[in-house]
Amino acid sequence: MSLDEEQAEGFAAGPPQGEMSPLGGQRPAQRRSVGAEGFAAGPPQGETSPLGGQRPAQRRSVGAIIVDLDGTMVDTLGDFVAALNHTLDDLRLPPVDRALVERSVGKGSEHLVRTVLDHQLALPELMVAGAVALDWPREQLDALALERYQHHYLFINGQYADVYPGVIEGLQRLRSLGLPLACLTNKPFSFAQTLLEIKGLNGFFSQVFGGDSFERKKPDPLPLIRTCEALGSLPPHTLMVGDSENDGRAARAAGCPVVLVTYGYNHGQPVTGAPHDGLIDSLTELPAWLGA
């Protein structure tokens, strides 16, 4: 590939770090380049990939960013717990604890409700008491539970949720860089849009997509691919920012670079084990990671 072709593709020009310059001496270590395509992403040259091996020396530019919602921008665990416990009370089932909910969020409302029901219906005290819910056909119980959950969540949405520290400042800095932003979540679109409005975050995003916006949810790559299309950005030039393995796997499959925050949910597992190109403790660190 010629130098002109490399620059057109958004890769940093010049020999790899430490290579001898044709004019003598060594090249200085290159930062992620700034160009028409945006800020070059990816880990530093030679950094070990969490999936094994080393990243290639070339760096892909970032022209747009996709940001997850729950666990990345807003701590919504309190909303989930409240809505679920109202739902369980409707079904005459015992309340759920926060730890179980934290391990179960991230794959959409249907998965969350079904996982909580599985756990609560298997409680020994419930089996002994002979709860009425045990006699229901499971398919009907799942449908009723989801309907009640969505009913309660509609009124609870945002009441027990807090924007994580650094989120607003980080989004402001990203916007000042001229990078188009999209929010992509597995939360139903109507709930996501309302939450963004309640928390004053909706103005940062040109596109918002929920778990019911496409045929499949993360970790399937389809939502990321469609969001890239909506942003007018190719996957290799579109950074995914999330908090879980769902985000990492979806980004890898879609061909997007991915940065994960360290404070999210990730199904109760350390996020270090999820596919990623970088880890940050706050969204305020993202511009520096981009080299801005």
Which residues form the catalytic set? Answer: 68
Provide the β-strand partners of residue 184.
209
Encoded tokens for 151: 């009913």
- DSSP letters along 34-55, please? EETTEEEESSPTTPBPTTSSB-
Q: Could you give the CA distance from residue 68 to residue 223 in angstroms, rounded to a whole number?
A: 12
Angle between helices 245-254 and 222-231 (to 10 degrees): 70
For residue 51, list its beta bridge partners: none
Peptide bond connecting 219 to the previous residue in cis, omega within 30 degrees of 0: yes
Q: What whole-number distance in Å separates Cα of residue 181 and Cα of residue 163?
A: 17
Q: How many CB atoms lie within 10 A of CB 77?
A: 18
User: How far apart (Å, rounded) are the C-alpha atoms in residues 143 and 44?
Assistant: 48
CA 187 – CA 84 distance, rounded (Å)? 15
Specify the 3-state DSSP secondary structure of 161.
coil
Cα separation, 96 vs 145, whole angstroms: 14
Radius of gyration of the chain (CA): 22
Q: Which residues of 10-47 are buried (b: 16+ CB within 10 A; e: fewer)?
A: bbbeeeeeeeeeeeeeeeeebebbeeebbbbbbbebee
Q: Which residues pair with 182 in a beta bridge?
A: 66, 207
